[in-house]
Structure 1
Amino acid sequence: MTIALGVLAPLLSLLWLAFGSGLGHWARLVRDVLPQAALDTAVLLAGVGLLVLVIGTGCAWLVSTCDFPGRGVLHWALLLPLAMPTYIVAFAYLDLLHPLGPVQGALRWLLGFDSPRQFRLPDLRSMPGAIFVLGFVLYPYVYMTARAMFMTQPAHLMEAARSLGESRAGAFFRVALPLARPALAVGLSLALLETLNDIGASEFLGIRTLTVAVYTTWITRSDLAGAAQIASAMLLVVIALVLLERHGRRRQRFGSAQRMRAIQPRRLHGTAAWLASAAAALPVLVGFAAPALHLVWETVKRLRQGNGISGALIDSLLNTLGVATGVTVVAVAAGLVVAWAVRAQGSARDGARWQGRAATLGYAVPGTVLAIGLLTPALAADAALAALIGHPGLPLMGAGVVLVVACAIRFLAMPVGGIEAGLARIPPALEQAARLLGENTGGTLRRVHLPLLRPAIAASALLVFVDAMKELPATLLLRPANFDTLATRLYAEAARGTYEEGAIAALAIVVAGLLPVVLLARHGLSEATA
């Protein structure tokens, strides 16, 4: 209950701050800020949503139902863009597609032009550019859920459609796709929530979304009340996306208890096979390989020039590891408490179910919204603590405690979900046996459940650690003074246009992000072959 209320507290504080600051702010925001920010946000969400649906669903159907050269590798390689934070891909492509960059330079050489004035590609700093970048990074959310659904659909349904005269395309659109709609809704809502949370890519590419408006209103204009009001407007978008995900999961189960024969991949030959390989490889190339190779090249070039790794970058790395470690410890400990409380009280009870859902609400809330909501309680706690210890200042914010709490709230859903899944695999008979042998609740947890939960806890800790390393919005707003992480350092370098300085920081974040993606790919492959 305490953890659930702690997650809800920033949202309640945000609403209090937004609606307690008078109508003057609202009038100005409605007139000058919200229309353009809301329009840009809506267009961006619509464009990214369409792109991730097309790429994710198409690639999932291709690797699930067709056999072509490279399918065994692309089956898991299509997950690799998950290792690339959106702001890093935007950072890389701004350099790659610069008018004086390597891509446009090579195109002008091939076409016989000498100057960017004679030929140049459309500017990436635009709405289409933002949709392109975010879509090719976030499509794996749809790909994962759609592939899992396609691989478990009974083969006889497609065979029945074909026997009734439907073409392969017709059977896909009239049978397979409607059955996959719940999975597509879940993946789409996750991709859109990540789009709404993004601040770096949108700002780099010149798109003034609601998230960017919150940041600039607070930091640039020093208008906390206005930022809170924009953030409260974002909650409406979050609620709509959560309702979309809930509606999709409402009809997630299909079929009977009998195990059905899965769809067998159809072997492609000749031109069709190589076209399928190219189509499945393109998202991996655009969303991961090209930006990752560019970062490697820029890092090697910088090191060869003798510039080396600066002391500031080392400090940023140590700060990142410290924050990520603190977030992991807090989030995993809280996740264990929540999952254990739900298990002990019984998941069928309304109180336990409500607490579990409330505790995981933070993942759906953008980091900027959490930061605004936490600020007022944090300042109050800092004032009380400073008066208690007799030392003026901001002891909690200055020590990074507030930043750790914000990130722990945002990522709490991961350990709760992972540990709940681990607990579900432990038979209740083991608990009953321990209690019959005289163990109390704490002893049963310590001596029975924790040893069996080690894999689930380790996997959850890894996911939280890596996501905390990549978190940008909350870190930008709540970090202590003169405190940089790899993400904020990269953001600062990109804002200054010094891309070569940020390449090492970006590459370090990508390498860390590869760890959970590899584990996820291995887990998915093992399930597919089971």
Structure 2
Amino acid sequence: MAIALCVLAPVVALSWFALQGSAQHWSHLLSYVLPTALRNTALLLLGVGILVSCLGVGSAWLITAFQFPSRRILSWALLLPLAVPTYIVAFAYLDILHPIGPVQTLLRDILGYDSPRQFRLPDLRSLPGAVFLLGFVLYPYVYLSTRVMFATQAASLLEAARVLGESGRGTFFRVALPMARPAIAVGVSLALLETLNDIGASEFLGVQTLTVSVYTTWVTRSDLAGAAQIALAMLSIVAVLILVERHGRRRQRYASTQRARPVQPRKLRGRAAAIAFALGWIPVLVGFVAPALYLLNETIKHFNSVGAVSDQLLLSGYNTVKVALLATIATLACGLVIAWAARSLRHGAPFTLAKLGARVATCGYAVPGTVLAIGLLSPIVLVDGLASWLWRLLGNPEPGLLLMGSTTALVCAYVIRFLAISIGGIESGLARIPPSMEQAARLLGETPGGALRRIHLPLLRPALGAAALLIFVDAMKELPATLLLRPVNFDTLATWLYAEAARGTYEEGSVAALAIVLAGLLPVILLARTQFKSAH
């Protein structure tokens, strides 16, 4: 419950900050800031939701229902865009699709034009550009959940629809798609939460969303109350997204008394196979291959011209690994406490409180990084004040701020943000351990702590390792909370890339971006292997 209260503290503090704002604050926000930011955010969420649904569901059905060349490779390659953060894709495509960039230059050469004034593509720095890029990066959330649902559907249900005279298209829309609606709702909700948390891609592309408004209001205008008020509006959108997702699957219940025969893909030939091949690989090329090749090319150009990375970039890499490692250890420890409490307390009020604490502690993942950063200010200052008072009570001089302005604040933000990953992974690992093993240890005289140390922890190593990898990579990629809570003159690879993109120095930023992408490939490859085994 103490950990759960720490997760709730930023939300409570955020509400308090927002109430400190005067009526003039609210009037200014309602007149000049919120209408544009809300409209852009709503249109961005709507566009991304539609695009990720089409790409994710279409890819999942293509892989499940049809057999065509490279299907086996494509089944896991469709997950690769998860390795590329949204701000890195925007960073790459701003240069790739620049009026004097490689794509538009090649098109002008083919069409016989001499300058960008004669021919140029629509500007990527726009709301449609943001929808396009975010959709092609975030569709794997929908693909992953929907493909599992399609793969586990009983083939007899689809065959029954065909026997009753339904066409292949009708079978998909009237049988397969409605049954997969809960999985689609979960995937779309995750994609929209990531869209709402994004700050780098939206700012690079010139889209004034609520997240960008929070950052500029706090950092540029030094208006903490105004930033808290905008952040409170963002939290209301998060709450609506979660409620919509749960409402969409509130009555979805499916059961079977026998083992279902999985869907057998239909083999395509000739033109149909070529079309399926092209449609399947387009999301991978746009969402991963093109930006990854660009970053690799820019990194090679940087090494050829400069010869080595700068000391500041190396320091940023060290800072990234250090903070991510500390956050991973702390998050796993907190997750283990919560999961073990829910496991070891079987009944009564303690069990109810443990379950409630576990549910509350997982809510941090739904809080955008900018909102979390603002909400953490007051609790961190409070803890600093209490520690300073106790230190002076012992006769020592004033210690100054201990947490604020240090990496500890960053670690706290990461722990709250990614605690859901730790709890989910450890709870799933504990569920595979039969209670009889724990009961046998207790009958042989082992204490609860001893049973955890000698039985459960060794058996939890795979689950702990998978959760640690996901948390470490997510912490490396986190940009909004890092931008707002980092100490002075402290950079991670994400903030270094953000600064380089703001200055327009793409070569130096590409090294940091490529390092983040390479780190992100590890969990994606492991996830792809797991999904491939489960699907076959």
Please name the residue that 1:440 is paired with.
Answer: 447
Query: Matched residues in 2 for 1:345 and 1:368: separation?
Result: 35
1:96–1:210 CA distance, 2 compared to 1 (3 A): same
Question: Is 1:369 aligned to 2:371, yes or no?
Answer: yes
The question of whether the paired residues in 1 share the 8 Å contact of 2:369 and 2:480 is answered with yes
How far apart, CA to CA, are the structure 1 residues paired with 2:20 and 2:467? Answer: 38
Give the superposition deviation at 1:20: 2.9
- How far 1:166 moved relative to its partner? 1.3
Alignment of 1:430-469 (within 5 A): 430-469=437-476
The verdict on how the C-alpha distance between 1:466 and 1:252 changes in structure 2, with shifts beyond 3 A counting, is farther
Give 1:333 shift.
Answer: 0.4
| 1:497 and 2:499 correspond | no
Q: Equivalent residue for 1:344?
A: 344
Distance 2:331 2:460 in 1: 16
User: Residues of 2 paired with 1:83 and 1:251: CA distance?
Assistant: 34
Whether the 8 Å CA contact 1:68–1:276 is kept in 2: the answer is yes
Verify the 8 A CA contact 1:155 1:262 in the aligned structure 2.
yes
The separation in 2 between residues aligned to 1:350 and 1:274, in whole angstroms, is: 56
Select the residue among 387, 390, 412 that pairs with 1:385.
Answer: 387
Aligned to 1:478: 485
Cα distance in 2 for residues equivalent to 1:346 and 1:514: 39
Q: Structure 1, residues 155-213: CA drift from partner, whole Å, max 9, x if none?
A: 11111111122111111001110000000000000000000000000000001110000
Kindly report structure 1 stretches of 4+ aligned residues shifted beyond 3 Å: 248-253, 346-350, 383-387
Tell me how far 1:347 sits from its aligned partner.
8.5
> What is the SS of the residue equivalent to 2:404?
helix
Q: How does 1:263-302 map to 2 (within 5 A)?
A: 263-302=263-302
Which amino acid in 2 is paired with 1:503? S
Paired with 2:426 and 2:378, the residues of 1 have a C-alpha distance of 32
2-side partners of 1:381 and 1:432: how far apart? 40
The answer for unaligned runs of 5 or more in structure 2 is none
Q: Is the 8 A contact 1:18 1:229 kept in 2?
A: yes
Counterparts of 2:283 and 2:525 in 1: how far apart (Å)?
A: 17
Q: Which residue of 2 aligns with 1:15?
A: 15
Which residue identity does 1:29 align to in structure 2?
A: L
CA distance in 1, matches of 2:347, 2:158: 37
The runs of 5 or more residues in structure 1 that have no matched partner are none
Distance 2:90 2:388 in 1: 41
Identity, in percent, stands at 65
Please say which of residues 16-25 and 366-375 is displaced more in the overlay.
16-25
* Distance in 1 of aligned mates of 2:526 and 2:504: 35
The reply on whether 1:487 has 2:497 as its aligned counterpart is no
Shift in Å at residue 262 of structure 1?
A: 1.1
**Across the two proteins, how many residue pairs are aligned to each other?**
529
1:12-65 CA-partner distances (Å, limit 9, x unpaired): 110111113332211211111111100000000000000000000000000001
1:310 alignment counterpart: 310
Secondary structure at the aligned position of 1:395 is classed as coil
Amino acid in structure 1 at the alignment position of 2:424: G
Give the counterpart letter for 2:406 in structure 1: A
Bigger mean CA offset, 513-522 vs 29-38: 29-38
Deviation readout 1:395-423 (Å, 9 max, x if unpaired): 21232101100011000000100000000
> What SS does the aligned partner of 1:222 have?
coil
Once residues 251 and 528 of structure 2 are traced to their aligned partners in structure 1, the CA distance between those partners, rounded to angstroms, is 26
Q: CA deviation at 1:481?
A: 0.3
Q: Please name the residue that 1:411 is paired with.
A: 418
* Contact 1:397–1:479, Cα closer than 8 Å, also in 2: no
Return 21-30 or 278-287, whichever deviates more: 21-30
Q: CA deviation at 1:386?
A: 4.1
SS of the equivalent of 1:110 reads helix
**Distance across 2 between alignment mates of 1:440 and 1:489:** 49
Contact 2:155 2:260 in 1 (8 A): yes
- For residue 279 of structure 1, give the secondary structure of its aligned residue in structure 2: helix
1:42-100 Cα deviation digits (max 9, x unpaired)? 00000000000000000000000100001010000000000000000000000000001
Shift of 1:253: 4.2
TM-score, normalised by the number of residues in structure 1: 0.98
Distance 1:272 1:88 in 2: 34
2:261 counterpart SS class: coil
C-alpha distance in 2, partners of 1:90/1:346?
A: 49
- The residue that corresponds to 1:140 in the other structure is 140
How far apart, in 2, do the equivalents of 1:277 and 1:323 lie?
Answer: 42
For the aligned residue pairs, the C-alpha RMSD in angstroms reads 1.3
Using the alignment, how far apart are the partners of 2:77 and 2:527 within structure 1?
Answer: 11
Hey, what's the Cα distance between the residues in 1 that align with 2:25 and 2:306? Answer: 52
